[in-house]
Structure formats: C-alpha cells, structure tokens
C-alpha cells in the first residue's frame, strides 16, 4: 500500500493520496511509518517545487504524536492530500467521511499489481509495477491507472 500511496503523490492525485493513506491507517499500519514516508515524499518527490510540503508532513507527525489514534490520523491524511496536490493547484478536502465509507469492507483487498513496487526479480516476474507509467515522464498525460478500486 505504501507504493500505491507514493505513486498517488507522484501522480499529483490528492483523492488517491487520501484513499491510500487512510486505507493504510484503517488496516492497522503503524501511523509513524506513514508519517516517516510522508516526510520522505515531501523532501524527495516534492522538494523545492513546494518547500512547505516538508513542514506540513512534519507538523502532521507532530499532531499525530500529540493526538494519537484515531484523531491524529486526520493530520496524516491531510499531509497526504497536500502532498498529492500539484504545486500550482489548490483543492480542499470535502466530505472526508466519503473515503472512510469507501473503505468499508475493502481493508483486506489486495493492492492492484501495477501500483506495487517490484523490488525483486520474482516481483517483476509476477507483474508488480507492470503498466505503471511515471507521470512526470509523460508530459500532459495521465499515468492511466485507477487508484481507487471503488471509483
């Protein structure tokens, strides 16, 4: 799921970023792991395109530390949404319960193979990452994958 979240951020898709972040949290992933990965994405993938992304991710981790579960999850999801918004775009989270409702009964569903990270030969042979197009290599094109199974 972390690979799907990372690809959603790279695709500049705030809805998919919210979906995968909340799905990870709702299925029991360690929120501090999610926070660490959001910080990494903010510094590695977003970087100077939006320097505030790093501050947002760090503040989300701090908010989670202060609030704990489940209240702190919202700060992490907001950081994922912020990270998934292109530098020139603006959007607002509305209907935050919609993502949680979509997750009902889906927590155990597998991550689509094209969103999985193929780090071993066996994973590559099994089709992990197959068909995924890195959005920034295709100017003006969508990566062509569906991030939310319920969409």
Give CA–CA dist 81/13, Å, rounded: 8
Least confident among 36-40, 56-60, 87-91, 107-111: 87-91
How many C-beta atoms lie closer than 10 Å to residue 130's C-beta?
Answer: 12
Give the pTM.
0.65
The pLDDT value recorded for residue 72 is: 95
C-alpha–C-alpha distance, residues 64 and 75, integer Å: 7
The dihedrals phi and psi of 120, each to the nearest 5 degrees, come to: -125, 165
What are the tens digits of pLDDT across the range 62-109? 999 999 999 999 999 999 999 988 643 334 344 455 666 666 777 678
Q: Which CATH architecture has domain 2-87+95-109?
A: Up-down Bundle (1.20)
């Amino acid at each position: 799921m972390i690979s799907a979240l990372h690809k959603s951020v790279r695709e500049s898709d705030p809805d998919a970023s919210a979906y995968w972040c909340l799905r990870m949290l709702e299925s029991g992933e360690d929120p501090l792991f999610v926070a660490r990965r959001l910080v990494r994405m903010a510094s590695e993938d977003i970087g100077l395109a939006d320097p505030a992304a790093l501050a947002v991710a760090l503040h989300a981790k701090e908010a989670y530390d202060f609030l704990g579960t489940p209240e702190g999850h919202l700060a992490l999801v907001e950081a994922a949404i912020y990270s998934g918004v292109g530098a020139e775009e603006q959007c607002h989270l509305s209907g935050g319960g919609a993502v949680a409702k979509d997750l009902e009964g889906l927590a155990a569903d597998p991550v689509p193979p094209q969103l999985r990270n193929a780090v071993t030969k066996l994973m590559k042979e099994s089709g992990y990452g197959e068909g995924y197009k890195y959005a920034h290599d295709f100017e003006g094109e969508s990566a062509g994958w569906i991030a939310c199974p319920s969409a």
